Amino acid sequence: MRRTLLLVMMWVGAGPAWAGIPAEQDDCLGCHGGDPTMSMDLPSGEKLSTYVDPAVFGKSVHGEMLRCTDCHTEKTGYPHESKPFASKRDVQVAYYEQCKSCHFANYTKTLDGVHYAVMAKGNRKAALCVDCHGSHDIQRAAEPRTRISQTCATCHGEVFKIYASSVHGRDAAAGNQDVPVCTDCHKAHDILDPKNGALAAHTPEICGRCHTNEKMMAKYKLSTKVVDTYLKDFHGMSATLQRGKKVDRKNFAAVCTDCHGVHDIQKSSDPGSHTIQANLVQTCKKCHPGATKNFPDAWLSHYEPTPQKATLVWTIQLFYKLIIPFMVGGLVLQIALHLWRVVVNR
Amino acid sequence: MSTSAIGSTQFLVRFTVKQRIEHVITMVVFTVLCLTGLPQKFYGAMWAQKLVMLFGGIDAARWIHRACGWALALSTVAHFGSAIVTIAGHKTRLTMIPTKHDFDDAVATLKYYLGMRDHGPKYDRYDYKQKFEYWGLVVGNIIMVVTGFVLIYPTILARFLPGQLVPAAKMAHSNEGLMAFLIITIWHIYNAHLNPDVFPFDTTIFTGKISRERMEHEHPLELARLDGQPEQAGEVASPHGREVVG
């Protein structure tokens, strides 16, 4: 990939910006690459620019390898007829399927994504390939990584603002490569609908990808037992058993984000954190309306019971670790002795 | 107590209708509690997830579990309520109370199993194994009901008591439940079904009837009392077979 970029840069350095564009482009760019004001009027009243900046296209990832007709497949000669598009969005909706002839795997993934589902329901604002990637100016989406979140922010501006002030967002902006950007949790093409239980069901696994990574967590002095201890308790057990079934988001057991926050996650020592002692009762109350100041202690804060932490729980655990084998063993022994006596007597 | 004869075998009534109904209720409720409770303890296992699906998902399974928990709680209260009334009215002997005699019986039985005695001890209405199981169930029920209510209503508990009692209750509920399941599947199933003396099925708790022959071997002291011959208490009887008499 770097080599490709290097080549592009060499080409750019060596000649005119569109020097990398295949020769066949010249025919199209002869008309569409000249006048920046070239446009057509659409019935919607919008002006559709029909100008392509050869410099921009030349620098795009496709500049060297695609001809205009690879995407604009029906424009085979000159003069060509204009399709009867009603609006700019019509043009984008009509052309976005062109991507699939090369990018079939990612195209297929989008069919499972929430944007496609929303579009299928008739919301034509839902993102298409070109909305995130651009069209003639396509660049690598993840260079730099933070660019991904910027792209999502085009439509999801409010959420982005919240994310940007979270522990993840602040570190991402500072250039930290460990913290998640939007697509690390939501995925890029097969984005799950956060409103049904599907994303919630995957949340412990998503957070766990980083938060159980010993090497990464050691840098930040964070525990990697967070997922295990969560799964062992009531919420984690419920969430695990709800996974196979279609469950409404609001009826889904609490997952990581229900306590820690979603886009507004802060360090648990941060005064703004949902999980700092002072805010805990409020956080519990989201699901347990009757929660009072003792209630948060019902959750062992991701600690395993030890004689120091949760003495009572640890003692009960130890008691049963001893009594169960003792009881069961004793009874089995008595059964065995009885059977032996029966055999001897016969 | 009444006696009846079917064919040549003479039967005695050992359990009242109320006792038989109590057993059926406990049996059904206990089974459903195990089926809906154990998958929650072993939630990671494939069988647990399939079992939960069979009940229509964890929320449905949990609802059933709680309904059965309530039934268990109420049946326990009803059992002791009626026991208190009966005892207060002097209408019963305290046949289920463990005594020093039961401890001696247990030691004697083990000695007999090990060949250190020629025969087992003679039992009264309930032998030490039955008393152990009854009181085990009682103590288990109380633990399960109390901790179960803590788990259904954690916020109410935390209003008055430390929150740590919730995970403590969960630890106790989960382990006590497993222990009850193991004791019933191993000990009770052995004594009621697999034990060569009763194999394949001891029907007494369902029909209420027991043969005079079995009474002679298993509860001779009770039989002697019923026959008005408590002096027979000195005689020998084995807990499980005529062959070993003497």
3-state SS of A259-291 is HHCCCCCCCCCCCCCCCCHHHHHHHHHCCCCCC
Are residues B43 and A237, on separate chains, in Cβ contact within 8 Å? yes
Question: Using CA atoms, how far apart are residues B167 and A283, in angstroms rounded to an integer?
Answer: 18
| A317 plus A283 within the same structural domain | no
Alpha-carbon torsion angle B156, B159, B160, B165, nearest 10: 70
| A287 plus A318 within the same structural domain | no
Which of A237, A300, A324 has the CB atom closest to B167's CB atom?
Answer: A300
- Cβ atoms of A266 and A166 closer than 8 Å: yes
Which residue type occupies A328?
Answer: V
| A257 plus A136 within the same structural domain | no
**For all residues of chain B together, what is the average pLDDT?**
87
How would you classify the pairing of strands B209-211 and B9-13? antiparallel
**Structure tokens given for A230:** 């969560």
| A41 plus A131 within the same structural domain | yes
Q: What is the pLDDT of residue B243?
A: 29
| A218 plus A284 within the same structural domain | yes
pLDDT at B31 over 90: yes
Interface subset of A 255-314, CB within 8 angstroms of B? 288-292, 294-300, 305, 310, 312-313
Could you check whether the bond before residue A79 is cis, i.e. omega within 30 degrees of 0? yes
Q: What is the pLDDT of residue B1?
A: 47
pLDDT at A15 over 70: no
pLDDT at B120 over 90: no
- Residue A39's DSSP bridge partners are A49
Are residues B167 and A299, on separate chains, in Cβ contact within 8 Å? yes
Question: Using CA atoms, how far apart are residues B101 and B122, in angstroms rounded to an integer?
Answer: 11
Are residues B113 and A324, on separate chains, in Cβ contact within 8 Å? no
- Cβ atoms of B56 and B14 closer than 8 Å: no
How far is Cα of residue A308 from the mean position of the Cα atoms in its chain?
Answer: 38
Question: Using CA atoms, how far apart are residues A162 and A152, in angstroms rounded to an integer?
Answer: 13
Could you check whether the bond before residue A144 is cis, i.e. omega within 30 degrees of 0? yes
**For all residues of chain A together, what is the average pLDDT?**
88
Mean pLDDT of the region A181-186: 94
Closest CA to A332 of B116, B105, B190: B190
Closest CA to A128 of A154, A97, A83: A97
**Structure tokens given for A35:** 């006048």
pLDDT at A72 over 80: yes
Mean pLDDT of the region A147-159: 93
Question: Using CA atoms, how far apart are residues B111 and B165, in angstroms rounded to an integer?
Answer: 43
Core vs surface per residue B179-188: b (16+ CB within 10 A) or e: bbbbbbebbb
Q: What is the pLDDT of residue B213?
A: 86
Last residue of a domain, one of A140, A161, A184: A140
Q: Return the residue of B nearest to A303 by Cα.
A: B167
Q: What is the pLDDT of residue B32?
A: 98
Q: What is the pLDDT of residue A247?
A: 74
Mean pLDDT of the region B175-182: 97
Which of B156, B164, B196 has the CB atom closest to A313's CB atom?
Answer: B164
In angstroms, the separation between the Cα of residue A167 and the nearest Cα of chain B is 29
pLDDT at B138 over 80: yes
**Range with the largest mean pLDDT of A52-61, B17-26, B113-122:** B17-26
How would residue A5 be classed by pLDDT, with cut points 50, 70 and 90? low
Question: Using CA atoms, how far apart are residues A74 and A68, in angstroms rounded to an integer?
Answer: 10
pLDDT at B34 over 80: yes
Interface subset of A 122-151, CB within 8 angstroms of B? none
How would residue B238 be classed by pLDDT, with cut points 50, 70 and 90? very low
| A40 plus A128 within the same structural domain | yes
Tell me the HSE value of B214 on the side-chain side, using a 13 A CA sphere.
17
Tell me the HSE value of A182 on the side-chain side, using a 13 A CA sphere.
27
**This prediction's pTM:** 0.81
pLDDT at A304 over 70: yes
pLDDT at B3 over 70: no
Question: Using CA atoms, how far apart are residues A165 and A163, in angstroms rounded to an integer?
Answer: 5
Question: Using CA atoms, how far apart are residues B66 and B150, in angstroms rounded to an integer?
Answer: 12
Question: Using CA atoms, how far apart are residues B197 and B195, in angstroms rounded to an integer?
Answer: 5
How would residue A294 be classed by pLDDT, with cut points 50, 70 and 90? very high
Mean pLDDT of the region A75-95: 82
Which residue is it, tokens 């967590």?
A217
Q: What is the pLDDT of residue A256?
A: 95
Q: What is the pLDDT of residue A283?
A: 95
Are residues A297 and B113, on separate chains, in Cβ contact within 8 Å? no
Closest CA to A59 of A15, A91, A92, A17: A17
Q: Could you give the C-alpha distances from B15 to A252, B23, B81, in angstroms and in order? A: 47, 10, 18
Which residue is it, tokens 């805010």?
A279
Q: What is the pLDDT of residue B244?
A: 28
Closest CA to A254 of A193, A198, A200: A200
B80 contacts: CB under 8 Å, gap ≥ 6:
none
Question: Does residue A161 lie within any of the structural domains?
Answer: no
Mean pLDDT of the region B148-164: 95
pLDDT at A206 over 60: yes
**Structure tokens given for A296:** 């948060």
Question: Does residue A130 lie within any of the structural domains?
Answer: yes
| A319 plus A236 within the same structural domain | no
Q: Return the minimum-mean-pLDDT range out of A83-92, A273-282, B170-179.
A: A83-92
Range of the domain at A318: 310-346
Mean pLDDT of the region A6-18: 49
Question: Using CA atoms, how far apart are residues B157 and B177, in angstroms rounded to an integer?
Answer: 21
How far is Cα of residue A224 from the mean position of the Cα atoms in its chain?
Answer: 21
Which of A238, A294, A320 has the CB atom closest to B179's CB atom?
Answer: A320
| A205 plus A115 within the same structural domain | no
Question: Does residue A236 lie within any of the structural domains?
Answer: yes
B64 against B199, higher pLDDT: B64
Question: Does residue A148 lie within any of the structural domains?
Answer: no
Question: Does residue A227 lie within any of the structural domains?
Answer: yes
Closest CA to A55 of A10, A18, A15, A9: A18
| A286 plus A207 within the same structural domain | yes
Question: Does residue A152 lie within any of the structural domains?
Answer: no
Phi, psi at B10, each rounded to 5°? -95, 135
How would residue A212 be classed by pLDDT, with cut points 50, 70 and 90? very high
| A132 plus A15 within the same structural domain | yes
**Range with the largest mean pLDDT of A81-90, A117-126, B140-149:** B140-149
Which of B57, B168, B190 has the CB atom closest to A245's CB atom?
Answer: B57
Question: Does residue A77 lie within any of the structural domains?
Answer: yes
- Cβ atoms of B144 and B176 closer than 8 Å: yes
Q: What is the pLDDT of residue A85?
A: 85
How would residue A332 be classed by pLDDT, with cut points 50, 70 and 90? very high
Q: What is the pLDDT of residue B4?
A: 54
Q: Return the minimum-mean-pLDDT range out of A64-78, A96-110, A231-245, B206-220.
A: A64-78
| A290 plus A316 within the same structural domain | no
Instruction: Outline where chain B has alpha helix (H).
Output: 17-41, 46-54, 58-88, 100-113, 128-152, 154-160, 165-183, 189, 204-207, 212-218, 220-226
* Chain B residues close to A290, C-beta within 8 Å: 155-156, 159
Strands (E), chain A: 39-41, 47-49
- Cβ atoms of B157 and B166 closer than 8 Å: yes
| A277 plus A345 within the same structural domain | no
Q: Domain count of chain A? A: 3
